[in-house]
Structure 1
Amino acid sequence: MAIFKFKNFMGWFSSLFKKKKNLKLGLYGPPNGGKTTLANRICLDWLGEEMGSVSNIEHETREINVKERIQIKKKGKALSFNLVDTPGIATKIDYEDFLKHKMSKTEAKARAKEATKGVIEAIKWLDNMDAVVVVLDSTVNPYSQVNITIIGNLAARNIPVLLVANKIDLKKSDVKKIASAFPQYKIVGISAQRGDNIEEFYDELFKLVK
């Protein structure tokens, strides 16, 4: 009888800590899809501060950035998580691409090296994720090797995924094309910069980690 009670107590004790664990929510996707812009939107909405810098130049985010203990509250429910903003995933990083942005050769090579290291780290961090939001630029053709690689890695790890079709405020936005490319996933069209449809995004986050 005492052993039974002890087991029950240990089960309750373990479950208590599991409930208190902060989920790790990763933002993944190709460069310039708007991951950091979305991270900033989330942090501004719920913490009152931004998370990172953004730029029109690819690979602005070259290191893993983590913002801890974000709590979203909607309709009497609360969702707590650590937000992980990752460097853009790319299959090829060429320093010459950065020269177009008036960087010196030394700066371009350094950025390419940092970006490559960031991609490797982002992939390693996948094993730590409880759920992932894949942020795609809805003005860009989704049928790319990078997107297929990202989705394939997530599927192989059985990580819950929500697809975000970002930049719906732009004329070339085509959310339906992304939906056709990845019909197995829920897709939410948003403008992370303007906040368009962000409430639906938050609703889907609750469903993602239920």
Structure 2
Amino acid sequence: MISREVREDRMGLLTELRDSISRVVDRMFSDAEPRRIGIYGPPNAGKTTLANRIARDWTGDAIGPESHIPHETRRARRKENVEIERNGKKVTIDIVDTPGVTTKVDYKEFLDHDMQKDDAVRRSREATEGVAEAMHWLREDVDGVIYVLDSTEDPFTQVNTMLIGIIESQDLPVLIFANKTDLEESNVQRISNAFPQHETVPLSALEGNNMDEVYDKIAEYFG
């Protein structure tokens, strides 16, 4: 027969073990970092407009300036701890707004926007460095991708095919957003046809159209 002292010792050990496991589990969940979601796509697709829309809706703050001039975003910008709650499910993400990726940045693009040559050359150099930074983030530092395309433009480009291929090779979850549906020339089906292996969500980041579905999909894919 087991003595009362032995039973008490065993109960004490079980209690300590249960408490230790509870503390470890609590630390695991409390130390869990938000998932880093990179917003990618070609220049002027509306990446920063979308990033700002998400950040404002859930934190009240914007991420960075928006502009019709190409390569306004020349360094990755990050908005941390964005909590999105949908249908009782909460997902916390860090939004990384990346520079538009292109195979070539020509300073002459900026001359068309009334810039002086010296400013245009400087801006093109910064944009080139920004593309390299965006690629580094993609290969090393993001847990998922929101890929933004201008639905008025042809999606069958070298850059889009290359980036989608890299995202797939990294086995990253990806959502394709067909932006600018408020414009008459918008053609969402063309984007769906270009990348049928991924879900395409239409939206207008500028007007805020279809953002409910956008947030539903973000919670579903990145939660």
TM score, norm. by length of structure 1 = 0.93
SS of 1:44's equivalent in the other structure is: helix
Amino acid across the alignment from 1:21: E
Give a deviation string over 1:120-151, Cα, whole Å, max 9, x none: 00000112111110000000000001101110
- SS of alignment partner, residue 171 of structure 1: coil
Amino acid at match of 1:72: I
Confirm or deny that 1:148 pairs with 2:161. Answer: yes
Are residues 1:164 and 2:172 paired?
Answer: no
Give per-residue Cα distances to partners, 1:15-57, cap 9 Å, x unaligned. 4356x31110110000000000001100111111211111111
Distance 1:59 1:167 in 2: 18
SS of 1:170 mapped into structure 2: coil
2:130 maps to amino acid: G
> Following the alignment from structure 1 to structure 2, what is the Cα–Cα distance between the partners of residues 185 and 15?
32
1:6-45 mapped onto 2 (5 Å cutoff): 12=25, 15-17=28-30, 20-45=32-57
Distance (whole Å) between structure 2 residues aligned to residue 21 and residue 68 of structure 1? 10
Residue identity matched to 2:111: L
Identical-residue share of aligned pairs (%): 44
SS at match of 1:71: strand
Aligned to 1:81, which of 84, 87, 93?
93
Shift of 1:73: 1.3
Aligned equivalent of 2:6:
none
Q: CA deviation at 1:96?
A: 1.1
Could you list the runs of 5+ residues in structure 1 that have no partner in the other structure? Answer: none
1:128 alignment partner in structure 2: 141
Partner of 1:103: 115
1:65 to 56, 65, 77: 77
Structure 1 residue ranges (4+ consecutive) displaced by more than 3 angstroms after TM superposition: 5-15
- Count the aligned residue pairs: 207
Q: TM-score, normalised by structure 2?
A: 0.87
Q: Unaligned regions of 5+ residues in structure 2, if any?
A: 1-9
Structure 2 Cα separation of the partners of residues 192 and 31 of structure 1: 15
Larger Rg: 2
Q: CA deviation at 1:198?
A: 0.5
Q: Give the CA deviation at 1:98.
A: 1.0
